[in-house]
Structure 1
Amino acid sequence: MDVVIVESPAKAKTINKYLGKNYKVLASYGHVRDLPSKDGSVLPEDDFAMTWEADAKSKKRLSEIVEAVKDSDRLILATDPDREGEAISWHVLEVLKKKRGLLKDKPIQRVVFNAITKESILNAMQHPRDIDTPLVDAYLARRALDYLVGFTLSPVLWRKLPGARSAGRVQSVALRLVCQREEEIEAFVPQEYWSILADLQTAAGADFQARITAVDGEKKSRLDIRTGTEAADIKKLVEGASLAVRSVEAKPVRRNPFAPFTTSTLQQEASRKLGFAAARTMQIAQRLYEGVSVGGETTGLITYMRTDGVEIAPEAIAPIRNAIEREYGKQYLPDAPRHYTVKAKNAQEAHEAIRPTDINRHPKQMAKYLDDEQLKLYTLVWRRTLASQMESAQLERTTVEITATNGSRSAELRATGQVVRFDGFLTLYTESKDDEDDEDSNRLPPMSEGEALKQKAVTASQHHTEPPPRYTEATLIKRMEELGIGRPSTYTATLSVLRDRGYVVLDKKRLIPESKGRLVTGFLSNFFERYVQYDFTAELEEKLDLISNGELEWKDVLRDFWKEFSSHVDGTKELRVSQVLDTLNEVLASYAFPPREDGSDPRACPSCSDGKLSLKTSRYGAFVGCSNYPECGYTRQLSNDGDGDAQQVGENGTKLLGTDPATGLDVTLRSGRFGPYVQLGEEAKPPRSSIPKGWDIESLDLEKALQLLSLPREVGEHPEDGKMITAGLGRYGPFVLHDGTYANLPGIDDVFTVGLNHAVSLLAEKRANGGRRGAAQSLKELGEHPDGGGAITVKAGRYGPYVNHGKVNATLPKDMKPEDVTLEQALELIAAKAGKTPAKKATEKKASAKKTAAKKTTAKKSTTKKSTAKKKAASDDAADEAGEKEDS
């Protein structure tokens, strides 16, 4: 028997079916070992020795692999065909090598396949190879680099910038991209411009539209008409002019299809067309790759989905071309297959592009085997693959130049449009764009040179330039790929880390840096600038690629990096937090201290007369406070309001929402270290309420504020005991409370609207579940235990029914119904659970009696010793006292 190791159990099950009974396929469940999250896992001073550790689950799986390999004839390592897959095979092999004699005389082979189909698997088994050592070296270098940067730089952040979570080799550079874009948006100054469009008509009565391109011989581009006065002048000129066609030019244009999907382009298109987040796209793609049940047989539907290669395997080209001719006709099939080269920086083209494993599996046929999301993604891959080998689209782009003459003055107008003469691949697939511009998509009517045109209307419209858009997950991945930062397997993980650390937030599919992210980027850009530079990070990626090609020694790369990096970190040890904050005050001035409407100094404290606002830090992160603390207690939160502006709640950190009609006191919105809150009045301990998470602060009005301040509110008296039920907000959300029992409410708004009946119902449900939802329910009581006393009950738990006595729970057999359980049966189950047969109980009783007697004897001796010691101490104290008196 041969043992085959793959990553996932789904793959293991499928591949075992293909290989048959002479093979045993086991799953490693991903990586089996990792560097422990503590100092010393990588030791630069010991030639970068690395300590690997397996967690409890991995140890169990490794034990299963070891047991299987003992009785095997051959070990086949069949993990994924990339750097991570090679590393997993290496880790498994390293663990097995440590088991003395386990691998003696056993052939060890490495096989790779790009698709989980029977043909691909059997073919791979016929072409084994050894572990790719350079690829493993590249993995080790990458893992060591990430560890050294993270575990060396993160503690510097914790000490110098309290509240920061972590830094990373790739994540910090990606965060810098997001923050830099936000800075561009904040610094952007809108520019006014005007567009002038003329609605015209040909001699044949066909309508079309033209745009101004020149006035009195001076060219006018899109942004050149700056004022309404100028626009009105040009509009008047055109309205009184005679118009004629100066020239008509029609040019044929060929549009070639797009390359098949890589990891990056799949994530981008799935985001644009399907609305999938990058992580979700990869989850669905993983399922399609590992296989779904089609006609009773599990098979992979797409090739490996972590790749930056754009070529299609030669054996797949012919079926694709046949499908094009069959589905769309011979005119859609080019004379020769298309070949693509990747444009991304530092791309590794070791794998082919993402494609269907069998192009003949049409999405319509697959619909009954896939869920909605799987079908959408499979259809996208299928269409893109087929389109990539189709004929080019043939377009005709027409440009009409028009002259407008008004006395001594003149203007030039232009109309553009295009006509699809042959749709080619466009019949199947059109790539979406982040910024659509369809100005040329209009179709123009026939016109001839010198033809007079009729004027219908002239429109002058005011516009303002827009700032660059925030990154989406798709556009950030695209930019990282262009810069050579990260690799296909790291994109989604990097984005997840940024969100999990609270550095960015995803709002309407756009990535917005949080204040914590802005501070970290500001710190790293000023004190570790080299290590967040795009070129530096890309150069490291290039070196890792050279390692994987066998052209560089991996430890040489680590030595060069560590020598400079560790020296730089040592240079920051004397850096004070005050120095860091002074730097950040300048770097983040426009964000932390936005301009004021009255033109006053944005750093002047609005509370005291001579204080200066500055960034402050606490264990919860940064905030803005007055330099005159503690004499002046002014603070406000440093945060982002979703539009890129620092949030400052009114004068003195407050915003007046109105007056409470019941008390006549002011209701204010305030911002403190722990977030925004509302307050009633200015007494020593005024009523306050935090703003619930998810509420829009900008839309908070007096009515909502008074609702918050009214909490906790009285819902009504409980019908059973007449005690009051209240509703309020707690650290775990909205709740109702009665006589010490809390029950959660479904939503925030329910705390203001829940009625008495609903509250009583929720509380009853909570009590029925033992005080907490999901707790065990008591079904019936069987009686007292004959030996130890105490009730024996039958209960229903989350894992099924059981009998209970004290701390002993015994699960009921599957064939025993809870309602049929007798006291005798329960006693047997409890005794068996506790391991107490009658004979054993008698023995335990005797042992217990002996133990008790021994304890009493020991306690008596101890008491005697203590009594003697106390008497001696008292005697000594008396002697000392007498001596002191005598001395005096």
Structure 2
Amino acid sequence: FKVSAIFICDDCDGKQVSFKAELSKFFATEKEAEEFLKKCKDAQFEVSSLEKKPVKKSPAPPFTTSTLQQEASRKLSYSVARTMLVAQKLYEAGKITYMRTDSVNLAEQALDASKKQIIKDYGKEYSHQRQFKTKSKTAQEAHEAIRPTDFNVESVSGSKEEKALYQLIWKRAIASQMSQAEIERTTIKISLSNSKENFIAKGEVIKFDGFLKVYLESTDEENNENGESGLLPTLDKGKKLRYNIITATERFTRPSARYTEASLVKKLEELGIGRPSTYAPTISTIQRRGYVHKEESMGTEREYKVLTLNPDKEVNKELKTEIIGVDKGKLFPNDIAMLVTDFLVEHFPRIMDYKFTAHIEEELDEIAHGEIDKKVMLDEFYFPFKEKVDHTIENSDRVSGERILGTDPATGKQVSVRMARFGPVAQLTDLKDEDVKPQYAGLRRENKLESITLDEALVLFKLPRAIGEHEDEEITAAIGRFGPYVKHNGKFYSLKKEYDPHTITLEEAIEVIEAKRKADAEKVIKIFDENPEYQILNGRWGPYLKAGKKNVRLPKDREPDSFTLEECIELAENYVPGRSRSKKKGKKK
């Protein structure tokens, strides 16, 4: 139980003021907390000590790739890949320096330019030129930190995303060359006449804002529970206080937070795994291959107890509810990730050791500096590794993570779950007759191989489920290789997260079907009946011509529906395909 109090007193002007303080001790049980509150009924409270301490706060270094990805995630809610894509555009436009770097250094030219800009905008007292040192031993100093190419340019033209990311980079770089913030931190200790425990109130006042005038770094902490009370009244030692309310609130230990893309980048950097150029591709790859997925959890309700001592000296008890486990944009591992990881840890413990990856990174640096011979290094790694791979392929069993859950009461068949070719499945097997083919049902995303129960697995076999009829054709709901769907008249319609194939109604299914039909109709601008292979369609990047397997850009100076079949054939024949967007992306450095 965590105890906090609101104290009241008269300030130097005789005006009544209040402030919050927290007990320095936690109570393990409700009984202990209640006994303490009862003590407080008749206690005298006074300020036993008051400490004012000047504190200086320094700005963060300018961005590296890693810190840019983390801060863009916290402040702008950008994914790691999105941050790098937008930064690439800013770099190509000449607005920022190279965005794949682990250096925090700034060139002399940049230091001078930022100093001039700070003095011009904020005054000489706000300028403090400094050069940061890169902490990482393996940092490559070939590039500067990420900064604007021209500090005079505070905002840029371009997309909304480009403007926001540029502002972030400009502010961080400018703030890194500004004066420290000067803060007065006050700690008040409040004693009780009948207890050795103390209440502590903390507050701070900014005396000189310095770099805080421009930029404040974010953190991954979702809740601020450091006991800060904000502004505190002017008090003297020995000052008598009265309580307005004292509350003991039940608190629970929290599990470690799941990784976001940004916090995972931070962890990779701490472990020495990867380089600025590999953070974004690594995180994109594990999502694309289905090892992890990004999810938003609405959390669950939990009850907790609150004991309150009011001014009337009565201790009231109340049961409240709170929402816990709310996750936004967190990364959740899938079953396949657990199986693959367990397999690799069992057979390749050295390769899976975090230190191994960091060690390889160091050796690559040593090769680059000419300190070790690359052939020697590769021989030492490759031949033992190949031998281990060959042995594992020959001797290891295929991992399926199979769990036998029990028996289906209706059929007497064995119910099990395992990892199949296209994902985790539940399986009904007739152990008495081997000729009877097993039945399979895909697991829901919330079901895990290691925790799914027999009852939860049996529900899955209720699919495919007949929902009703529409246009004289039956609608069924099921889960397939690519997720949940409804089927109608031979066509498949994917279901979004808000729809569950086990509970979707006929009306909801019809809405899904009609919405897809409408979207398809709006996509088609023109179809040539005499040659249906040629279609003018609306795409993500605007109208285009689909000619068989070719996608052809249309001239922008004409209405798309004005093209004739002959013109479309000519466009298709003369069209020289450029590089695709995905290929372009792969070429970027």
Which TM-score band applies after superposition, normalised by the shorter structure? Answer: 0.7 to 0.9
What is aligned with 1:119?
A: none
Deviation at 1:618, TM superposition (A): 3.5
User: Contact 2:19/2:229 (CA < 8 Å) preserved in 1?
Assistant: no
Deviation at 1:330, TM superposition (A): 1.5
What per-residue deviation string (whole Å, max 9, x for no partner) do you get for residues 234-288 of structure 1? 1111232111111101111110000000000000000000000000000000000
Q: Does 1:356 align with 2:107?
A: no
Aligned-partner Cα distance in 2 for 1:794–1:196: 74
Tell me: CA distance 1:323–1:605, structure 2 relative to 1, closer, same or farther (3 Å).
same
Which runs of 5 or more residues in structure 2 are unaligned? 296-327, 538-542, 548-553, 574-589
SS in 2 for 1:353: coil
Deviation at 1:349, TM superposition (A): 2.1
Aligned-partner Cα distance in 1 for 2:391–2:197: 65
Q: Does 1:206 align with 2:7?
A: no
**Matched residue type, 1:290:** E
Tell me: CA distance 1:396–1:647, structure 2 relative to 1, closer, same or farther (3 Å).
same
What is aligned with 1:605?
A: 406
Tell me: CA distance 1:755–1:606, structure 2 relative to 1, closer, same or farther (3 Å).
closer
SS in 2 for 1:798: strand
Instruction: Compute the TM-score of the two structures, normalised by the length of structure 1.
Output: 0.51
**Matched residue type, 1:196:** V
User: Contact 1:345/1:481 (CA < 8 Å) preserved in 2?
Assistant: no
What is aligned with 2:359?
A: 539
- Equivalent position to 2:341, from 521, 524, 528: 521
RMSD (Å) for aligned C-alpha atoms:
4.2
- Equivalent position to 1:262, from 61, 64, 89: 64
Aligned-partner Cα distance in 1 for 2:408–2:506: 35
- Equivalent position to 2:467, from 710, 717, 729: 710
User: Contact 1:486/1:541 (CA < 8 Å) preserved in 2?
Assistant: yes
Aligned-partner Cα distance in 1 for 2:509–2:427: 40
What is aligned with 1:554?
A: 374
**Matched residue type, 1:202:** C
- Equivalent position to 2:120, from 316, 326, 330: 326
Aligned-partner Cα distance in 2 for 1:818–1:427: 55
- List aligned pairs for 1:446-461, cutoff 5 A: 446-461=234-249
**Matched residue type, 2:262:** A
- Equivalent position to 1:653, from 457, 465, 468: 457
What per-residue deviation string (whole Å, max 9, x for no partner) do you get for residues 734-769 of structure 1? 5764xx8x697998789735889x979959x97xx9
Tell me: CA distance 1:199–1:527, structure 2 relative to 1, closer, same or farther (3 Å).
same
Tell me: CA distance 1:350–1:751, structure 2 relative to 1, closer, same or farther (3 Å).
farther
What per-residue deviation string (whole Å, max 9, x for no partner) do you get for residues 268-314 of structure 1? 000000000000000000000001xxxxxxxx100000000001111
Q: Does 1:307 align with 2:101?
A: yes
- List aligned pairs for 1:186-225, cutoff 5 A: 194-204=1-11, 205-213=16-24, 220=25, 224-225=26-27
Deviation at 1:203, TM superposition (A): 3.8
What is aligned with 1:285?
A: 87
Deviation at 1:567, TM superposition (A): 2.3
Tell me: CA distance 1:403–1:318, structure 2 relative to 1, closer, same or farther (3 Å).
same
What is aligned with 1:719?
A: none
User: Contact 2:405/2:453 (CA < 8 Å) preserved in 1?
Assistant: no
User: Contact 1:309/1:347 (CA < 8 Å) preserved in 2?
Assistant: yes
Aligned-partner Cα distance in 2 for 1:413–1:761: 62
Aligned-partner Cα distance in 2 for 1:313–1:503: 41
Stretch of structure 1 that moved more, 474-483 or 324-333: 324-333
Tell me: CA distance 1:301–1:795, structure 2 relative to 1, closer, same or farther (3 Å).
same
What is aligned with 2:528?
A: 777
Deviation at 1:490, TM superposition (A): 0.6
Tell me: CA distance 1:358–1:818, structure 2 relative to 1, closer, same or farther (3 Å).
closer
Deviation at 1:225, TM superposition (A): 1.5
- Equivalent position to 1:417, from 203, 206, 209: 203
What is aligned with 2:131?
A: 339
Q: Does 1:237 align with 2:61?
A: no
User: Contact 1:714/1:726 (CA < 8 Å) preserved in 2?
Assistant: yes
Instruction: Count the aligned residue pairs.
Output: 501
Structure of greater Rg: 1
Which runs of 5 or more residues in structure 1 are unaligned? 1-193, 214-219, 292-299, 586-591, 593-602, 655-668, 671-676, 680-687, 690-707, 716-723, 779-791, 805-811, 834-888
- Equivalent position to 2:536, from 784, 798, 804: 798
What per-residue deviation string (whole Å, max 9, x for no partner) do you get for residues 837-865 of structure 1? xxxxxxxxxxxxxxxxxxxxxxxxxxxxx
Tell me: CA distance 1:793–1:348, structure 2 relative to 1, closer, same or farther (3 Å).
closer
- Equivalent position to 1:399, from 179, 183, 187: 187
- Equivalent position to 1:272, from 74, 81, 96: 74
Tell me: CA distance 1:202–1:551, structure 2 relative to 1, closer, same or farther (3 Å).
same
- List aligned pairs for 1:352-501, cutoff 5 A: 352-363=144-155, 366=156, 369-406=157-194, 409-435=195-221, 436-437=223-224, 439-440=227-228, 442-501=230-289
What is aligned with 1:93?
A: none
What is aligned with 2:292?
A: 504
Aligned-partner Cα distance in 2 for 1:331–1:820: 66
Aligned-partner Cα distance in 1 for 2:241–2:508: 67
What per-residue deviation string (whole Å, max 9, x for no partner) do you get for residues 346-384 of structure 1? 222221100000010121xx2xx2111110000000000
What is aligned with 1:641?
A: 446
Tell me: CA distance 1:347–1:750, structure 2 relative to 1, closer, same or farther (3 Å).
farther
Deviation at 1:640, TM superposition (A): 5.3
Deviation at 1:545, TM superposition (A): 1.2
- List aligned pairs for 1:793-872, cutoff 5 A: 797-798=535-536
Tell me: CA distance 1:550–1:245, structure 2 relative to 1, closer, same or farther (3 Å).
same
User: Contact 2:171/2:215 (CA < 8 Å) preserved in 1?
Assistant: yes
SS in 1 for 2:111: helix
User: Contact 1:324/1:390 (CA < 8 Å) preserved in 2?
Assistant: yes
Aligned-partner Cα distance in 1 for 2:137–2:432: 54
Aligned-partner Cα distance in 2 for 1:565–1:272: 40
**Matched residue type, 1:404:** L
Deviation at 1:433, TM superposition (A): 0.8
Aligned-partner Cα distance in 2 for 1:284–1:231: 53
SS in 1 for 2:251: strand
Tell me: CA distance 1:545–1:239, structure 2 relative to 1, closer, same or farther (3 Å).
farther
User: Contact 2:414/2:429 (CA < 8 Å) preserved in 1?
Assistant: yes
SS in 1 for 2:19: strand
Deviation at 1:549, TM superposition (A): 1.8
Aligned-partner Cα distance in 2 for 1:640–1:199: 46
Identical amino acids, percent of aligned pairs: 34
Tell me: CA distance 1:235–1:197, structure 2 relative to 1, closer, same or farther (3 Å).
same
- List aligned pairs for 1:11-30, cutoff 5 A: none
Aligned-partner Cα distance in 1 for 2:28–2:382: 54
Tell me: CA distance 1:545–1:237, structure 2 relative to 1, closer, same or farther (3 Å).
same
User: Contact 2:50/2:186 (CA < 8 Å) preserved in 1?
Assistant: yes
What is aligned with 1:721?
A: none
Aligned-partner Cα distance in 2 for 1:398–1:359: 37
Greater helix percent: which structure? 1
What per-residue deviation string (whole Å, max 9, x for no partner) do you get for residues 24-82 of structure 1? xxxxxxxxxxxxxxxxxxxxxxxxxxxxxxxxxxxxxxxxxxxxxxxxxxxxxxxxxxx
Which structure ranks higher in relative contact order (CA pairs < 8 Å, sequence separation ≥ 6)? 2
What is aligned with 2:300?
A: none
